Structure 1
Amino acid sequence: LKKIKESGRIVLGVRESSIPFSYLDNNQKSIGYSIDLCLKVVDSLKKQLQLPNLKVETNPVTSQTRIPLMASGVIDLECGSTTNTKERQKQVAFSVAHYISSVRMAVKANSNIKTLDDLDGKPVVTTSGTTSDSLIKQNERGKKINVVNLYGKDHAESFLILETGRASAFVMDDVLLAGLIANSKKPDDFQIVGAPLSVEPYGLMLRKDDPAFKKVVDDTLKSVFKSGEVNRLYTKWFLRPIPPRGIKLNLPLGDALKSAFQKPSDQGK
């Protein structure tokens, strides 16, 4: 918080293809549900620090770079689709959860893959630096299945690996898969299958050991949840057509997320 006050600027870490949380529109501008929430935090900071002209800068991050860039002070607040885990809490802090997703797999609609067991011996892609990667490995050990692990540098590349047939499945958070499928050339060619491998609470990520800043972030989110404004934001990004191509994710608000809005928590998994 001191750094933001002294420098008069805040640097937001943003993603390029985490639809609908944090991604680029046709003008290369950062947009999304997490971006909107971060901008609410910026408004709170302007009031609290009495900095009406607080400068907002964005810095692109990937699944691999987001934690190092936060820990080293390059970014101040990460506005993406980052799962709050106990492991990550050793290095960074998280806001209360603003979204709950579950990890499943995207496959070609004409494939015979329905469950994790069907992946035995097949190439499976995930994005490096994500929780999905370790989940596949845990399940491989637990179910005695062997998959050939492939990695994309970001979600767009992972999806391309599935789309071009180099992988039989793309394991990732269901909401991110839904966004990539909806945005693809032929959405009907893909489907999301399998039981959830895990439930992922997303939080805005910030530096550890800055309780004053965390309080501003959490208080802002809690007031957005409590006032019901979050319902408007949810409708805007998950139920209505979104830029750049006017696709609709059509993901109704689930019970787990409703409960996260009613009883905000930064517990992590």
Structure 2
Amino acid sequence: MFLRAALITISLFLLSNPLCHAHGLHSKKTLEKIAETKTITLGYQDDAFPFSYTDGPQPVGYSIDICNKVVDAIKVKLKIKDLKVRWVRSSTASQFVFIKNHVTDIMCIPAFYSEARHQKAEFSLPYFFSRTRFITRRNNHTDTIEDLAGHSVLVKSGTIYVDQLHNINKANDLNLNIELDNNNRAAFEEVRSGELPALVSSSVILKGMVALSPQPEEFEISDEALSPPVPAGLLISLEDPEFKNFLDVTMLTFFSSKDFLTLYQRWFEMPIPPKAINLNIPMSAELKALINSTSTTYAY
């Protein structure tokens, strides 16, 4: 009798406790949870122009627009016209924690792929490819990574560039001092002020930083690439292959439409309001090959 009463008490606690209810939602598949709550939670960054940044009350950017296309597809699949979108600000350092703990359903930020990162979260089909380079002040006359030997070099924490730079440093015995920052704008300011000589990042992110600066002519991005083209995708949970397949099919369908080319041109080949910044970045051969494919299977 005592055991039966205890079990009833525990059961009632589990049913009434909001934390346990949340855990129950987390154990559901992503689409099931979205259908039940009529809400999708999306992560964004505020410092990753032109992918994900803030310009007013809502995040904007290339990654944000792609996520919005995914949301439209989810509305159709689940037949929810009034699906609520909840935005959560994230960073390169917190994105994997948010995905693992189901704080967000999708990370709408430029998540560049690495094997180590793939152990923490699943990647969608890539929507961009970019090499790693570094930026310096033009008057530094720094052409190669070897020219920075013995100096401090800045990298944003939580990015793939940290490991890339460590490997280059070790392989070439450069004696670099690798400094970390958690915000692209703050990192760029340290280079602009002359506090540090160089910042390592994705070439497209660097190009965006230069374009946004008041004196873009004062900076140069290295001709030397520190990596081959690296794919960037949306991040989702490792635990939901069904959602991964839905996401990839949705993205491939979008890639094959004229709307995708229009979207790409809007962010990389046309003036971006309100400052009319044109990054002039043609679509890469890697992305062209992917969108011409008829398969959702992509070998990272």
Pair in the same fold by TM > 0.5: yes
Preserved CA contact (<8 Å) 2:49 2:61: yes
Preserved CA contact (<8 Å) 1:98 1:261: no
Counterpart among 87, 91, 96 of residue 58 in structure 1: 87
Counterpart among 147, 153, 160 of residue 176 in structure 2: 147
Preserved CA contact (<8 Å) 1:16 1:24: yes
Aligned-pair distance for 1:124? 0.8
Counterpart among 252, 255, 258 of residue 282 in structure 2: 252
Distance in 1 between residues matched to 2:254 and 2:123, nearest whole Å: 17
Q: How does 1:10-25 map to 2 (within 5 A)?
A: 10-25=40-55
Counterpart for residue 154 of structure 2: 125
Aligned-pair distance for 1:132? 0.5
TM-score, normalization by structure 1 = 0.96
Residues 82-117 of structure 1: CA deviation (Å, up to 9, x unaligned): 112221121211111110000001111111110110
Aligned-pair distance for 1:167? 1.2
Q: Extract unaligned runs of 5+ from structure 2.
A: 1-30
Structure 1 counterpart SS, 2:164: helix
Q: Extract unaligned runs of 5+ from structure 1.
A: none
Q: Which is further off, 141-150 or 255-264?
A: 255-264
Whose helix proportion is higher, 1 or 2? 2
Distance in 2 between residues matched to 1:230 and 1:47, nearest whole Å: 19
Aligned-pair distance for 1:265? 4.9
Higher relative contact order (CA 8 A, sep 6+): 1
Distance in 2 between residues matched to 1:224 and 1:215, nearest whole Å: 14
Q: Which runs of 4+ in 1 moved over 4 A?
A: none
Structure 2 counterpart SS, 1:230: helix
- How many pairs does the alignment contain? 267
Structure 1 counterpart SS, 2:273: coil
Counterpart for residue 241 of structure 1: 271
What RMSD over aligned residues (CA atoms) do the two structures have, in Å? 1.3
Aligned-pair distance for 1:130? 0.5
Residues 109-166 of structure 1: CA deviation (Å, up to 9, x unaligned): 1111101100101121110010111111100110110112212111111111111111
Q: How does 1:1-269 map to 2 (within 5 A)?
A: 1-25=31-55, 27-198=56-227, 199-263=229-293, 265-268=297-300
Distance 1:163-1:28 versus aligned 2 partners, 3 A rule: farther
Structure 1 counterpart SS, 2:41: strand
